[in-house]
Amino acid sequence: MKRRLFAALLFMLLLTGCGGKTVPPPPEEPDIPPAEAPEAPPEEPQEPEPPEDPEEAALLALLEDMTLEEKTGQLFFVRCPAENAVEDVMTYHLGGYLLFGRDTQGKTANELIQTIASYQTAADRIPLLIGVDEEGGTVVRVSSNPHLRSKKFSSPGKLWKQGLDALLRETREKSILLKSLGFNVNLAPVADVSTNSGDFIYDRTTGMDAEETADYTARVTEAQSFYGLGSVLKHFPGYGNNKDTHTGVAVDERSMEKFLEQDFLPFQAGIAVEETVWPSGELRRLRPAVLVSHNIVNCMDPNLPASLSPEVHRILREDLGFDGVVMTDDLAMDAVSAYAAGGNVAVMSIQAGNDLVVTTDYRTQIPRVIQAVRDGALEEEAVDAACLRVLRWKLELGLLERTEEGTLRPAL
């Protein structure tokens, strides 16, 4: 501003000196305020974070509070030992016991109830899965004992031929009996499709085609869930006409199309049964589990038994959309022993994607899993993910309950 005033005075003096005429000075340049920065567009309102699921938060808090030994033990759903069963629950922090005919034979209902109760007492803060194979027909670990039922439960094929009412009536009786004795998981229904009486698995199936087997699988799963009994769909990805894997390796040569069009259908039907109205009138979620066979299925993985194959588990998780508990068939079977490097079959099964390890050899396998985590051969995140699914299933089964403080405690 001062420079402009000085310039104007100088200009007037010059004009005065040139003829005496006064010429008006040039107009002053207006003061132009600096341009204001354009206003930033208003921020879009942020979506509020969804409220935290209180049950999921409680599960994560419980997991966070567990040691590596406790988390690893929860992944083992093992054959009940003939000796030291109570002590081993505490020593190995076991996830559950599977009872066989040896464990129920000759016992009265009260004796079996007391035995199972002693296992649950030893489990302390995380109750056990107590499972049994009570398929009906040739596999009857409970009803083969006349002290527990006057006759064996009928086979799936016989029941299905008798009609839906007979199937539901017997499934209801079976569920109530197993629950009353202390069981919370039945390793059934058999979801395998077999229409050939010469197949190894035939007598344990409905003997019908894929559509009828799918209907059977869904009905049994829903009925067992209604009474709070966990179902286990087996033997994924479908047994077919393969030989007995208890005694050796079975190789499945069928095409992927065969599985997509037939064998997967019963598993998909069972997986779809999630929410059930319980007798109390409450709508509850109780997902079934899926048991994976030891068959080598060439179209999925020609190198490993299904139970040890990451690709088979990927198909189950991603292609079939299953997010519940996956368990192995018994790892003590001959069909898997040759594939376990250094005998670390449980480590391999967890790496493949299993959540529960079914085995007799848990006293050897549990320390190996713990050591594999400490050595870096097995990521602890894999153990955590599997353990979380096991804990979630126990919550759905009613074995755990949430307190007013938001923590989990035994519901037994």
Show the 3-state SS of the chain.
CHHHHHHHHHHHHHHHCCCCCCCCCCCCCCCCCCCCCCCCCCCCCCCCCCCCCHHHHHHHHHHHCCCHHHHHHCCEEEECCCCCHHHHHHHHCCCEEEECHHHHCCCCHHHHHHHHHHHHHHHCCCCCEEEECEEECCEECCCCCCCCCCCCCCCHHHHHHHCHHHHHHHHHHHHHHHHHHCCCEECCCECCCCCCCCCCCHHHCCCCCHHHHHHHHHHHHHHHHHCCCEEEEEEECCCCCCCCCCCCCCEECCCHHHHHHHHHHHHHHHHCCCEEECCCCCEEECCCEEEECCCEECCCCCCCCHHHCHHHHHHHHHHCCCCCCEEECCCCCHHHHCCCHHHCHHHHHHHHCCCEECCCCHHHHHHHHHHHHHHCCCCHHHHHHHHHHHHHHHHHCCCEEECCCCCEEECC
At 295, is the pLDDT very low, low, confident or very high (cuts 50, 70, 90)?
very high
What is the arithmetic mean of pLDDT over 91-97? 98
What is the arithmetic mean of pLDDT over 86-99? 98
pLDDT at 337: 79
At 283, is the pLDDT very low, low, confident or very high (cuts 50, 70, 90)?
confident
pLDDT at 43: 58
The two beta strands, 400-402 and 408-410, are: antiparallel
Q: What is the pTM of this model?
A: 0.87
Mean pLDDT of the chain, nearest integer: 89
pLDDT at 339: 87
Domains and CATH numbers, the chain: 59-410 (3.20.20.300)
pLDDT digit string (tens) for 138-189?
999 999 999 999 999 999 999 999 999 999 999 999 999 999 999 999 999 9
pLDDT digit string (tens) for 318-375?
999 999 999 999 998 877 878 877 789 999 999 999 999 999 999 999 999 999 999 9
pLDDT at 334: 77
Q: Check pLDDT > 70 for residue 18.
A: no
Burial class (CB in 10 A: 0-12, 13-18, 19+), 264: buried
pLDDT at 47: 57
Q: Check pLDDT > 90 for residue 225.
A: yes
What is the arithmetic mean of pLDDT over 103-120? 98
The structure tokens listed for 51 are 């409220």
